[in-house]
Structure 1
Amino acid sequence: MKKYTAHYQKKDIVLVSETQNEVGRIVDVRKLFHYEQYIAFNSKKYDIRNVGFLKNDVELFDSNVITYFTDLAKERIIKSGHGVRIYYFKLKSTWQLTEKGELLIEIREEKRRGKESIFHLEVDHSADDLLTLLFLHYSTKEFNSIGGDGD
């Protein structure tokens, strides 16, 4: 398993390896009449679009091609395109993403008094880091906004 930590840097969430190298970041750009979210990974920008009923699902784009999308109703993330894969998530006290019953990603939140949370991730070597960033985004941003109770 790979071990990562993620922390807030202003409004962004930065994912770093055990050696403190930046893997990628989840970026929030908020200006007067403009709001944009994207994932910066491997010198590429992957746009995040909220879709669905109450905007509680996400599509992740590389230019105009959907790379991943979520399905909150069935608690899954789907990799689209060539080699479709389906991952299932559980958002309890630890956030877990599985494929065919095998644990791929586990995220634990360390809440710190008076400071932003730090997230500790254990990621299977077979899991794509882009998927890790999307799951981190969905777990921290999207589900919190629609009332995830964290039990």
Structure 2
Amino acid sequence: MLKKYTVHYQKKDLVLVSESQNEVGRIIKNRKLFHFEEYITFNSKKYDIRNVGFLKNDVELFDSNVITYFTDLAKKRIIKSGQGVKIYYFKLKKTWQLTEKGELLIEIREEKRKGKESIFHLEVDHSVDDLLTLLFLHYSTKEFNSIGGDGD
């Protein structure tokens, strides 16, 4: 059984909404004069996003100062840290997919709309943590992920 979500822009934020139109979480991009911060709000908690690595192409997701998830663009994977470490692999083509042990967990399709912001459609395995869904959405929509993509 799959959970179905849509994502739309609300100003600069990406908002993840369930089929019943309830907000699940949001990705917030806050730009102030000399300060830029990105974070995810989920279950009334704030998870900070930090860009790291070569050319800042990877991200770390923090809960307080504990890394919850981090990405490895070179090996195309997202790693859940802490107890019960898990490794997920992603493909960023026309549809963005996240798998674990060959099983499809998340699929994201972008609906481009003329003169308007895109809307994203997600199908997510019921076993997937919504925080991971939000992180994968954030990472998939980052500008650098289109670099070198074959677009197929």
What TM-score, normalized by structure 2, do the two folds share? 0.96
1:137 maps to a residue whose letter is H
Name the structure 2 match of 1:68. 69
Match of 1:96 in 2: 97
- Residue in structure 2 matched with residue 30 of structure 1 by the alignment: 31
Q: Deviations over 1:90-143 (max 9, x none)?
A: 000000000000000000000000000000000000000000000000000254
**Matched residue SS, 1:83:** coil
Q: How far apart are residue 46 of structure 1 and its match?
A: 0.2
- The DSSP-based 3-state class of the residue aligned with 1:73 is helix
RMSD between superposed Cα atoms in Å: 1.2
2:46 corresponds in structure 1 to: 45
User: What secondary structure is seen at the aligned counterpart in 2 of 1:89?
Assistant: strand
Q: Secondary structure at the match of 1:106?
A: strand
Q: What's the secondary structure of 1:130's corresponding residue?
A: helix
Deviation at 1:144, TM superposition (A): 4.0
1:56–1:146 CA contact under 8 A, matched in 2: no
The gaps in structure 2 that reach 5 residues or longer are none
Change in 2 beyond 3 A, CA 1:147/1:47: farther
Partner of residue 9, structure 1: 10
Give secondary structure in 1 for the equivalent of 2:20.
coil
Runs of 4+ more than 6 Å apart: none
Q: Tell whether the 8 Å contact from 1:37 to 1:47 is kept in structure 2 after alignment.
A: yes
- Structure 1: state its 5+ residue gaps: none
Letter in 2 for 1:115: K
**1:87: which partner in 2?**
88
The alpha carbon displacement at 1:149 in A equals 5.1
